[in-house]
Structure 1
Amino acid sequence: MINKQSPVPIYYQLEEQLKNQIESGILQPGDPIWSEREFTERYEISRMTVRQAINNLVHSGLLYRIKGKGTFVTEPKLEQKLTGLTSFTEDMQSRGLTPSSSIIGFSIVPASQNIATELQLKEHAPVYEIKRIRLADGKPMALEKTYLSANLVVGLTEKIVQESLYQYVEGALQLIIESGTQEIEASSASKEEGKLLQVPFNSPLLCMKRKSFLSDGKVLEIVQSSYRADRYKFMVRLDRGLF
């Protein structure tokens, strides 16, 4: 209920009411909320007040709008901790989700100067170039481009890539994946990215570049990923040390 006598702003009361309904499960992901007009008429408050509350929830990622259709509850974001090196498959399985991949490119190509440098190879050495859409429970989460030395990761096939690359490397090839580095920055979806990820053009993306190393110091892979910012977030634990 809205208490018009309360010193708490009405827009904030409405915002908290909707937030509580989402967090308690009364409103489920994908559910529509009332229109601005319905909120205005039922609570007898101004449209500007309703709009401010809804805008705040859209900006915080709890709601999203579809032009001409209305405002809906957002799917909860998946959180990836940045404290360990895990594959997408391992990450999704740990959340109880079913991971899968849609291969949009798989070939062996001569390494460009940049890729050769990154993989510690000679220029034009054969490398796998793998492009795929990463999905969780059938929903696109990220676009991923991976480069690996064809002389290091021998026998790689599309079928293996559709399952788990890390399991193949560690199981079949008996290579030990030891560490990795990751860079993250913000971007916006191109028309092609938007089509493949099923998001509007210019939607926010989280772009990640990962370099993974084997126990002998060799570079295993270079991975460039673009994650849907509405479905994914990264989390890192920070400890305050002594100075």
Structure 2
Amino acid sequence: MINKNSPIPFYHQLEELIRHKIDTNELKEGDVIPSERALSEDYDVSRMTIRQALTNLVNEGLLTREKGKGTFVAKRKLEQPLMKLTSFSEDMKNRGLIPESRIIEFTEGVLSVSECKELQVPQKSVGYRINRLRLADNAPMAYEILVLPKVIFPQLSQESIHSSFYSYAEELGYQIDGATQTLEPSLAYEQESELLQIKKGSPVLLMKRVSRLADGRPFEYVKSIYRGDRYKFITELKR
């Protein structure tokens, strides 16, 4: 219950109470949160206090609001470690989820100046651009734009990358060494929001990565847009 004699603000105490119920699975994904009026009566605090606590938890991603329906416990975010280079398919399988790729567009043509620079190939080199929607258990998780140099993958076809592209590359005998990756917050544009089933302007995580083979050659340049409400990236730092 809320301690009225504590210096900790009432709304913050309520946040911690709800957060604890979620952490202990007393409140599960999809469970409805009682109304502001009911919570106000249960905890003997003002509805303004209740509204502030719930809004903070919504902003944190622990709760979600559906207009005309109420407030619910949000789906847990998937934790993505940044210390190891793995494919989307590998990540989802490790979590017991079924990965799926839906190719939105597959084109072959001359790469842009910036794409050639990222892949360290001569200007006007030919390559592939593959736009893919990545899903887990049939739920959209990320929208991916994959750029590949034809000099490394001369026989690439749409059918060959329906699952894990890294598996395909390794089956060709290539050894994947590492990658350079950047991560930044962004907002979903119209096409991204439609594919990811989120509102236009929703927060997303924009990841850009250049991956290298064992001989040092870059073999992919990928831009991925992850749903901000379903993903969080973690890393371990040591001093």
1:173-209 deviations in Å (ceiling 9; x for gaps): 1011111100111101112211111111111111010
Structure 2 residue 182 is the aligned partner of structure 1 residue 206: no
What corresponds to 1:143 in structure 2? 143
**Percent of aligned pairs sharing the same letter:** 49
1:18-76 deviations in Å (ceiling 9; x for gaps): 11211111211122211212212333321111112112212222112223322111111
Query: For 1:236 and 1:178, how far apart are their aligned partners in 2?
Result: 19
1:63-120 deviations in Å (ceiling 9; x for gaps): 1222332211111111111111111111111111111111101121111222122212
Helix, strand or coil at the partner of 2:114: helix
Query: For 1:145 and 1:102, how far apart are their aligned partners in 2?
Result: 12
C-alpha root-mean-square deviation of aligned residues, in Å? 1.6
User: Tell me, which stretches of 5 or more residues in structure 1 are unaligned?
Assistant: none
What corresponds to 1:113 in structure 2? 113
TM-score under structure 2 normalisation? 0.94
Helix, strand or coil at the partner of 2:31: coil
User: Tell me, which stretches of 5 or more residues in structure 2 are unaligned?
Assistant: none
- Of the structure 1 ranges 132-141 and 26-35, higher mean CA displacement relative to structure 2 is found in 26-35
Q: 1:41 to 1:161 in 2, by over 3 A?
A: same
What corresponds to 2:13 in structure 1? 13
- Of the structure 1 ranges 20-29 and 213-222, higher mean CA displacement relative to structure 2 is found in 20-29
Helix, strand or coil at the partner of 1:202: coil
Aligned residues: 239
Q: 1:68 to 1:216 in 2, by over 3 A?
A: same
What corresponds to 2:93 in structure 1? 93
CA displacement at 1:5 relative to structure 2: 5.1
Query: For 1:36 and 1:225, how far apart are their aligned partners in 2?
Result: 38
Helix, strand or coil at the partner of 1:170: helix
Structure 2 residue 44 is the aligned partner of structure 1 residue 44: yes
Query: For 1:174 and 1:80, how far apart are their aligned partners in 2?
Result: 27
CA displacement at 1:147 relative to structure 2: 0.5
